[in-house]
A and B are shown apart, each in its own frame.
Chain A
Amino acid sequence: MNLSQIKSGQKAVVTKVHGDVFALKLFEMGVLPGEQVELENIAPFGDPIAIRVGESKLCLRLEDAAHIEIELSEWKD
């Protein structure tokens, strides 16, 4: 499953990020394998999406989100 398939309110764990510059940029912005992500908002026209990762909120297009593999989960705490 990848991040573009996540549904509103769902939480997941990042397992792998594909791509070179894009992946590194995501790592630098705190989106790392093992981090938990949550879908917070969807833009009015259905794309892009806004996710919460740790203490940051990022938005990205669905086509980019498809490069991020995730596994659905529940918050641990």
Chain B
Amino acid sequence: MERLITVALVGNPNCGKTSLFNALTGLNQKVSNFPGTTVEKKMGQTMLTDKVKLQIIDLPGTYSLYPKSADELVTYEILRNKSETNFPDLVIFIADASNLKRNLLLYTQVCDLGVPSILALNMMDVAERRGIEYRLPDLEQALGVKVVPINARKRTGITELKQELINHLPQSHVSYFNLNRLNQDMLLELSAATDKRNHYAALQYSINAKDFITEKSARIKGIFDRYQFNIRQFLEDEVFERYHLIDEAVKASRVKPKDNLRKSLTKKVDAILTHRFYGIGIFLLLMFLIFQAVFSWSTYPMDLVEMGFSLLTEYVKTTLPAGVLNDLLVQGILAGLSGVIVFLPQIIVLFFFIAILEDIGYMARVGFIMDKVMRPFGMNGKSIVPLIGGMACAVPSIMASRSIENKRERLITILVIPLMSCSARLPVYALLISMFIPDTAVWGPFNIHGLVLMFMYLIGFIAALLSAWVFKNFIKQNNQQNYFLMELPGYKMPLASNLLITLYEKAGAFVFGAGKIIIAVSVILWVLASTGPKDKMNAVTLKYQTEMARMSDAEKNEAIIGGITLKQNADFLEASYAGQFGKFIEPAIRPLGFDWKIGIALLTSLAAREVFVGTMSTIYSVSGADDNLDSIREAMQREQNPHTQKPTYTLATVFSLLIFYAFALQCMSTVAIVKKETGGTKWALIQFIYLTVLAYGSSFFIYQIFG
């Protein structure tokens, strides 16, 4: 019989927990969410012996068991609740040896909760360089626990750690903090009301749960009030007492530091990286580099993906018999999928940079540098990275906003990310801009086309800041956590295995998360665009049948070369439900300068914005599909308004359309991810509405000014 043992990795943020998790499990890990939260839950498995399988949970880093953020709450909940399915049989506590005192605070709390623990002492090398050394046997004796030295990044000590797990299962636990000073009657009452495991667990639960609105919390409050228990004072006393105990253990085992230590590098590096001029310069340079990488270097793999898809599409189209299934696969699923997968290279490149900067410790500095700039807009320094990421794709960027602890600042960041011009808008911008400025136009050394494009990105960024400022005045501050307190971890060399695992995980999340939605939306839109009211569809069929019947064979050939099938497709689209929808909304979008044809494109763009281009090519029955921007442009420029006989695409309409695409939330994947990340429909709906109103209002304004 195989035995399954659940082990939780617990420790402070930046203690090397994730590196240890990766070292223990490799790619054999799964990311999901903790039930009812958006906090990522990482689980992995490894064989300890032939008979014993380890199930490892990587719990979010925390400084104490009195949680102050959603991440920390998860760690506490798992360790607290014995009936929880993930309740660990054993905790591997990872402590950063170079900052042992603070790390042990949480460790003693975990022990006192009554969870058997083993202490893994990480980053001994960093500590040694700073002149910090411990006599491990003395430390073990002082703490009363087995200590295993490891180096998670270099993957040393892992075998010893596993051996220790085999030797010490199940491990008896020690306790540190003495509750004798408190009124024992109160503790008994609290235990009876909450957690019977031990008094500390009961008291801790009571303090954490007193502010929930449940029957139990009312009872807890009653007990606290009756004994006139001062929680704030107790918490302070607890921390001080624990530090006192830890101090003694650390002093008893620390090797006397040698003189002439090398000063920590961090201060020197930070003096440059956060310098008034160099710091900003380096930051801008890095952002420019990322921008470049995402937009120019990624085009090569993106072209490959596109080519692969067009080959696949061609193969399916010609191999499968013509019919509904063929159309569904080719025009629905494959078209939708390629629209997603094509962005994968950009996302991988973007996350490669984010992960590397995170791993070496630079990301925290970005937060430090930019905090003052973002603050007036209700965001903080940590918002800058998701905002930049929004220029590639809003979906992973919204996920990346998890690092922002302050709920309000995180929410505001999520709400404005879609205003950053994502790469799906790029083909739309390119088509529209080329309608009024030729690609070749230059102004001095600059390509005007490029300048206008940059201007569109700028408009998006400014709109994001202004919207954030508006939200700041509407969303209430949670005054309990109205502070910005962040650790600046020591710099480290990036670790290839950590990077690869992160990329693998992000790419998977994007493809499977966004992919599912896009396929669903594509299929629905395909149905809407290929079916329609019977009488109207039949009328189109009839029209072409009679037309063809009247022709001679030579005329037929000519008509086919002349694109009669394309014209027929365009007529079918007009007769379809999508076409009906376009006509239905035409009165609403006419003030923006749009006709029903653009209405169809607005609808199909909901799958992904760049579908606009494909839809335009269908509507204007242009052969050669997506890539043939020039012929679509020409067809659009030829288009005339049947009533006025003037061109449909006047400068005013094109400007209006550009602004509409810059602001509107035409992306169902974003709506879905926002719903998931904010834990409900409310904010996803608010976001959709405000962006629609903003887009409509701005387009209206633009069209009325220029029209």
Contact = CB atoms under 8 A, between A and B. Distances in A.
B200 to A, nearest CB: 16
Give the interface size class of chain A. Answer: 20 to 34
A58 to B, nearest CB: 6
A61 B98 CA distance: 25
Nearest to B484: A61
A30 B110 CA distance: 18
Given A41-B271, A44-B274, A45-B373, A57 B68 contact: no
Given A21-B483, A44-B275, A45-B369, 17 more contacts: A20-B480, A22-B483, A24-B232, A25-B485, A27-B240, A42-B274, A44-B279, A44-B369, A46-B372, A47-B371, A48-B371, A50-B488, A54-B102, A55-B99, A55-B102, A57-B266, A59-B484
Interface of A: 20-30, 32, 40-48, 50, 52, 54-61, 64
Given A24-B239, A25-B68, A27-B239, A43 B63 contact: no
Interface in B252-299: 266-267, 270-271, 274-277, 279-280
B632 to A, nearest CB: 46
A29 to B, nearest CB: 6
Nearest to A51: B488
Contacts of B364: 59
A54 B101 contact: yes
B102 A43 contact: no
Nearest to B105: A28
A29 B100 CA distance: 12
Contacts of B373: 45
Interface in B347-377: 364, 367-369, 371-373, 375
23 contacts: A25-B68, A27-B236, A28-B64, A29-B487, A32-B240, A32-B243, A41-B274, A48-B484, A50-B368, A54-B101, A55-B101, A55-B102, A55-B132, A56-B99, A56-B102, A56-B487, A57-B489, A58-B485, A58-B487, A58-B488, A59-B486, A61-B483, A64-B483
B587 to A, nearest CB: 49
Contacts of B490: 57
A19 to B, nearest CB: 8
Interface in B89-126: 98-102, 105
Contacts of B130: 55
A62 to B, nearest CB: 9
A43 B235 CA distance: 32
A57 B480 contact: no
B544 interface: no
A24 B236 contact: yes
Nearest to B235: A24
Nearest to A23: B236
A52 B99 CA distance: 12
Interface in B222-253: 232, 235-236, 239-240, 243
Contact of A48 (B98, B280, B372): B372
A65 B277 CA distance: 24
B270 A40 contact: yes
A48 to B, nearest CB: 5
A5 B490 CA distance: 25
Interface string B552-588: 0000000000000000000000000000000000000
A37 B371 CA distance: 22
Contacts of A29: 63, 102, 485, 487
B49 interface: no
A29 B106 CA distance: 10
A43 B243 contact: no
Give 5 closest A-B pairs by Cβ, nearest first. A45-B372, A55-B99, A30-B102, A28-B63, A28-B64
B481 interface: yes
Pick from B99, B373, B480, B485 the residue with the most CB of A within 10 Å. B485
B690 interface: no
Contact of A20 (B100, B232, B240, B367): B232
Contacts of B489: 57
B66 interface: yes
B704 to A, nearest CB: 39
Contacts of B99: 30, 54-56
Contacts of B368: 41, 43, 48, 50, 59
Contact of B239 (A21, A28, A64): A28
Contacts of B243: 32
Pick from A20, A32, A59 the residue with the most CB of B within 10 Å. A59
A20 B99 CA distance: 25
Interface string B302-342: 00000000000000000000000000000000000000000
A57 B277 CA distance: 22
Contacts of A52: 267
